[in-house]
Amino acid sequence: MDHLSTTFAALADPTRRAILARLSSGECTVTELAEPFEMSMPAISKHLKVLERAGLIARGREAQWRPCRIDGAPLKEVADWVSHYRRFWEESFDRLDVYLRELQKKKKSKEKTNARNRNKR
């Protein structure tokens, strides 16, 4: 599997993204990581291995205390990849903006017509 595919596959899981979110506030051990999740240690370890293989986390060398930390490099690749598509979400917001302005305009012109009709009476 190519590198970017491995990264996307690793991120396609809410528990693994929650692990990254936890690590974003500082490095911690596997035991500390497992605490907020109702999961067995082997299940957590499996998720950590997927993240490690994708290069998303790195682990300390000390045998007993092997703190995990985020490695930003693959996340930068994701950010670079997605940035090429920016105009596709900006365009859709532009279209929504145009639509809302048109609605507003119609509403105003309707109010004017109503006001004019009221004055005529």
Q: Which residue type is seen at 69? A: R
Report the site for a second copy in 10-69 (rule: CB under 8 A). Answer: 11-14, 17, 20-21, 24
Q: How far is the CB of 116 from a second copy (least distance, A)?
A: 39
Question: Which residue is listed with tokens 């490690």?
Answer: 52
Q: Which of 27, 32, 52, 71 binds a second copy (CB under 8 A)?
A: 71
Of 25-33, 41-49, 80-88, 102-110: span binding a second copy (CB under 8 A)? 80-88
CA 43 to chain centre: 23
- Does position 9 interact with a second copy (CB under 8 A)? The reply is yes
**Rounded CA gap, 3 and 106, in Å?**
51
Q: 26-46: buried (b, 16+ CB within 10 Å) or exposed (e) per residue?
A: eebeeeebbeeeeeeeeebee
Residue among 83, 117, 118, 120 that touches a second copy (CB under 8 A): 83
Q: What are phi and psi of 95, to 5 degrees?
A: -65, -40
Residue of 41, 43, 79, 100 that binds a second copy (CB under 8 A): 79
| Binding footprint of a second copy on the chain (CB under 8 A) | 2, 4-6, 8-9, 11-14, 17, 20-21, 24, 70-73, 75-76, 78-79, 81-92
